[in-house]
A and B are shown apart, each in its own frame.
Chain A
């Protein structure tokens, strides 16, 4: 376990940064709520995988990264890529399989990447559907960064189910042996599809997985955004100092089914009610008011801004054309014309921690 410091990293967050955290969490939920509407209108082509109840941990962990660090999200970590600047329109376009999406309709939801040349903006690596693989791949991003003499940190996520894979173990172990700058956020969100954590592992806490690798680990309340930020920031700092990988276990709850089609009848009502009362955004909102960081008016304003932005971005993506079927065979190997890109945007607060340099956004949030 890392030594507990007297002061918490979040103590150093400015008022704007605290509000920005709220904005990102709110925006994540608003994007997903727009997606749920689009899903019900049959405009989402595949499934919709909500992070309801988990937005706080995705946002607060990625908030500990510097702007040009690397993050690899799973399908339920929308908040992490929104924090790193992925334009919401791209997310909507992905779900609706539009030709303007980061994969031009070739892959779905968060399955996309953004790999700028050199040290010029955030690196985002998408997942594949077989879980666990992002751990060795992000270990490799850390390895490549070290070889290229870049001091970046690679962060990725894994669910409780994903930690049961061989790929997770191989990647964690390799990162530990090589002391790579990797931070793994291991989410105990209580169910892997329908399988409870008790049938996934015989240890009481998910972060104990890390014992086998000899790396720092801790368990945090995943619905306490500042606690997640604190643990993540400590791990990111360790990684950047060359001290190797860490694993942070987050205790949270998946408040929707595996995807929207899943009615989640295998989850008890009392369990859901208990976690509903611990909603990360509601809690953080109350904290901001209690600590007098913001007034009710401030927060209502941010909420309105977020909701409107999500709606506008959804509308833009909805009007986008689908992919051209004539492009279907292009770009399987090098030499084709397929060269997709993702728009990186800055939040209206522009204060994300660890911003070592500024990329020039083509678009700024409203």
Chain B
């Protein structure tokens, strides 16, 4: 099998769903003629035409609103936000209209809102967001963030086939840096299932997205000192796969929750609280949260490196837990 990048895997998944289901279409800014700011949708306009690859005005609320309306007519829109930071512009219509529609009316909105998230590329305060915590608090909305190319393709396909709105976070650091062998035949990675990326008995690291790779780097370093880290890649952030998390904690008895978004009120708080509530008797140490600082995302590489969790911080946190 050929190696496929994370970005190419998303494009393949989207194109395959568009080819197999004429209800699926793409809508967003600069996605057609230009192929998207990161080129995720490159080639789709030629293949599927302007009716199914819609270039819109700079109007995030219109993009999501139009997607919702068309979904009521039976379509399955895949809306791109050029940077996921811009979800702030359509927060209202996404959380209040799309996410509540099924609960209020029984009218599901099979909508995928996808876009590049995350930092590490000096994107600055408006092109680096990890907004999952804003949406974790929104019943009716699912959240997905793959860390591998294989998962990116399988998850985008599962998200498109899902009958509810899905916020699909694509970590831009991984777009071209991560590649896997990705099958050409149809497959999905089901929503709501975490995966153990690396088994280990000493400390569990619960993470997702680009931080999965940072955690694996730390785990490699720690292995040299005979510390065995178990790395759990959540893949779906809502609903959370607590079973996989708690099974691991029951084995290792020590846990770090690692994410790239800011610490306070982050998804790590929710996971740590759930572990404390449901796995307290398994814990030999308090759950540790590792996250970015409580600041906007800074621009300079030096500042951003000081802002984001690092391999060194993970190693230090593990050492603290091992000695606890």
Contacts and interface: CB of A to CB of B under 8 A. Distances in A.
Q: Do A and B come from one complex?
A: yes
Closest 8 pairs (CB-CB, A-B): A140-B69, A136-B65, A144-B73, A144-B70, A140-B66, A170-B62, A170-B59, A174-B62
A141 B69 contact: yes
B112 to A, nearest CB: 14
Given A103-B104, A115-B107, A136-B62, A143 B140 contact: no
Contact of B97 (A128, A143, A338): A128
Contacts of A138: 69
A294 interface: no
Interface string A311-353: 0000000000000000000011110001110000000000000
Given A102-B105, A334-B162, 17 more contacts: A103-B104, A106-B104, A107-B104, A107-B105, A113-B105, A113-B107, A115-B72, A115-B105, A125-B72, A128-B96, A136-B59, A136-B65, A140-B67, A147-B75, A148-B74, A174-B59, A334-B163
B51 interface: yes
B140 A133 contact: no
A138 B106 CA distance: 18
A171 B65 contact: yes
A170 B57 contact: yes
B249 interface: no
Interface in B95-121: 96-97, 100-108
A135 interface: yes
A167 B93 CA distance: 9
A111 B104 contact: yes
Nearest to A328: B103
Contacts of A139: 62, 65-66, 69
Contacts of A135: 65
A121 B81 CA distance: 34
A361 interface: no
A331 B73 contact: no
B102 A174 contact: no
A129 B95 CA distance: 12
Given A133-B92, A147-B70, A333-B164, A126 B65 contact: no
Given A145-B73, A170-B57, A177-B57, A332 B102 contact: yes
A144 B104 contact: no
Contact residue range for chain A?
35 or more
Interface string A118-154: 0000010110111001011111111111111010001
A51 interface: no
Contacts of B60: 170
Given A143-B69, A143-B70, A148-B73, A173 B105 contact: no
A293 B56 CA distance: 49
B117 to A, nearest CB: 22
B75 A144 contact: yes
Nearest to B89: A166
A332 B69 CA distance: 19
Contacts of A167: 61-62, 65, 92-93
Contact of B65 (A115, A170, A340): A170
A112 interface: yes
Given A103-B105, A173-B57, A331-B103, A133 B97 contact: yes
A106 B103 contact: yes
Given A170-B61, A173-B57, A174-B59, A141 B70 contact: yes
Interface string A3-41: 000000000000000000000000000000000000000
Interface of A: 102-103, 106-107, 111-113, 115, 123, 125-126, 128-130, 133, 135-148, 150, 154, 166-167, 170-171, 173-174, 177-178, 331-334, 338-340
Interface of B: 25, 51-52, 54, 56-57, 59-75, 92-93, 96-97, 100-108, 139-140, 142, 162-164
Given A133-B93, A141-B70, A167-B65, A340 B75 contact: no
A166 B139 CA distance: 25
Contact of A112 (B67, B69, B103, B105): B105
19 contacts: A113-B107, A128-B100, A133-B96, A136-B62, A137-B97, A138-B69, A139-B69, A141-B70, A141-B73, A144-B69, A145-B73, A147-B25, A167-B61, A170-B57, A331-B103, A332-B103, A333-B164, A334-B108, A340-B106
Contacts of A126: 104-105
Chain A CB within 10 Å — which of B51, B66, B75 has the most? B66
B30 to A, nearest CB: 14
B99 to A, nearest CB: 9
B164 A144 contact: no
A133 B61 contact: yes
A141 B97 CA distance: 14
A136 B66 contact: yes
Contacts of A133: 61, 65, 92-93, 96-97
A140 B69 CA distance: 4
B65 A130 contact: no
A147 B51 contact: yes
B68 A112 contact: no
Nearest to A335: B163
A166 to B, nearest CB: 6
Contacts of A147: 25, 51-52, 70, 73, 75
Nearest to A169: B59
Chain A CB within 10 Å — which of B70, B108, B140 has the most? B70
Contact of B106 (A129, A140, A331): A331
A137 B104 contact: no
Nearest to A172: B62
Chain A CB within 10 Å — which of B61, B92, B108, B163 has the most? B61
Contacts of A143: 66, 69-70, 75
Contacts of A166: 61
A185 B60 CA distance: 23
Given A136-B64, A140-B65, A174 B56 contact: yes
